[in-house]
Amino acid sequence: TFRNKKGFRTLSFERGSIQSVSGSDVVIKSPDGTTWTWKIVSDTVVRKNGGKTTASALSAGETVFAGGPVVSGARDARLIIVLAPRSMRHNET
C-alpha cells in the first residue's frame, strides 16, 4: 500500500501457475497454495516469449507473474508475464 495525491493505493503481485482462464478471469495458484483471481482489464499487458501477446493466449498450467492494483477488492492484472518452464530458464541458481 502506498499514498499518492489521490489517497492510498494497494498493489498486488503473484507468481504461480494458472489454474483456469475464463472470460476476463485468470485464477493463479502460488507455490504456497494461495489462490487469487485476477481480472483482465482493458490495459492488461500480456508478455510471452519476450513479446506481447493477448490474454486469449493464456492457458492452464503455465507459470506466470501477475501484478496490478487492487480496485474495490478485485485484483486488476495490469501485467501478466508467462515464464519459461523451469528446465528452459538460463542462469538460475
**Model confidence pLDDT, tens digit, residues 28-71:** 999 999 999 999 999 999 999 989 999 999 999 999 999 999 99
For the entire predicted model, the pTM comes to 0.86
Q: Which of these, 30, 76, 32, lies nearest to 55 by C-alpha position?
A: 76
- In this structure, the number of other CB atoms found within 10 A of the CB of residue 18 comes to 20
> Using 50, 70 and 90 to split pLDDT, how confident is the model at 84?
confident
18 three-state secondary structure: strand
Q: Are 78 and 45 in contact (CB under 8 A)?
A: yes
Q: How many Cα neighbours within 13 Å face the side chain of 21? A: 15
CA distance 4 to 83: 31
